[in-house]
Amino acid sequence: MSEAPPTAPKRSRIQQRNRKRILEAALDVFSQHGYRGSTLDQIAEAAGLSKPNILYYFSGKEEIHVTLLARLMEAWLDPLEQMNANGDPLTELLGYIRRKMEMSRLYPRESRLFANEIIQGAPRMGGNLETGLKPLFDEKCRLIQDWVDAGLLAPVDPAHLIISIWATTQHYADFEAQVRVLIPDNEAAWTAAQQHVETMFTKLLAP
């Protein structure tokens, strides 16, 4: 029996609450230990439910993980989608960078969940990368290329620009354990990071 009817996902209040709990707990556990490093017992304990009870709401461990990844994908793409073709190029790109930085700071678990999955070759992402990420990536690459061609930005490879924005912003969430050792003052680290990243891309992009 499929647990996610495509037509009507009508779920009772209890179902909504418990599914939410489970996904929240699973995000915690999966992002910290990776897929295989996490156990249903850990997730169950974190969710305050019994293991069989969890399997009443999800068909298995993998389905929980896949559900998390699918939901995450939307949230992840959103800041890029917001980049407006009609705005000022530099402003739009810096806005995107700021939103990305914000996400790293506010949702490090999501970032690490994603990173874990990609590093291991994205075995559970299905076609999400091709069907979700790629089209948007290509679209925004064309947009940036147009801006460059119009002389509104310094010449830059759009694809690698986006990739380097991802790299720098996500790094602070994904490699937090390292950053914390190297820059002990966490508060200061984030503001300085914000400053640094903005300066870097401003210098790169100013026409």
| Closest CB 15 distance from DNA, rounded Å | 4
Q: 116 touches which of a second copy, DNA, none (CB within 5 to 8 A by kind)?
A: a second copy
Gap between the Cα atoms of 138 and 162, Å rounded? 10
Per CB under 7 A, 55 contacts DNA? yes
Nearer to DNA, 38 or 170 (CB): 38
Site map (CB under 8 A) of a second copy, residues 49-88, x = contact: ----------------------------------------
Measure CA 154 to chain center.
Answer: 28
- Scan residues 133-152 and list those touching a second copy (CB under 8 A): 133-134, 137
For the residues of 101-154, what is the DSSP string, one character each? HHHHHH-HHHHHHHHHHHHTT-TT-TTHIIIIIHHHHHHHHHHHHHHHHTTSS-
Binding-residue total with DNA (CB under 7 A)? 20
C-alpha span between 6 and 139 (Å, rounded)? 28
Question: DSSP for 157-187?
Answer: -HHHHHHHHHHHHHHHHHTHHHHHHHS--HH
Are the C-beta atoms of residues 105 and 173 closer than 8 Å to each other? yes
Candidates 1, 6, 52, 123: give the one binding DNA (CB under 7 A). 52
Q: Which is nearer to a second copy, 20 or 134 (CB)?
A: 134
Residue 1 binding target from DNA, a second copy, none, CB below 5 to 8 Å by type: none
What is the closest distance, in whole angstroms, from the C-beta atom of residue 65 to DNA in the complex?
Answer: 10
Does residue 53 bind DNA (CB under 7 A)?
yes
Give the C-alpha separation, 103 to 163, whole Å.
16
Q: Does residue 8 bind DNA (CB under 7 A)?
A: no
Least separation in angstroms between CB 157 and a second copy: 5
> Between residues 50 and 131, which has the closer beta carbon with respect to DNA?
50
Cβ atoms < 10 Å from Cβ of 44: 20
Q: With DSSP H G I counted as helix, E B as strand and the rest as coil, what are the percentages for the chain, rounded to 5?
A: 75, 0, 25
Task: Report, in Å, the least distance between residue 69 CB and DNA.
Answer: 16
Select from 33, 117, 121 the least CA-distant residue to 76. 117
Binding site for DNA (CB under 7 A): 12-15, 18, 38-41, 49-53, 55-56, 59-62
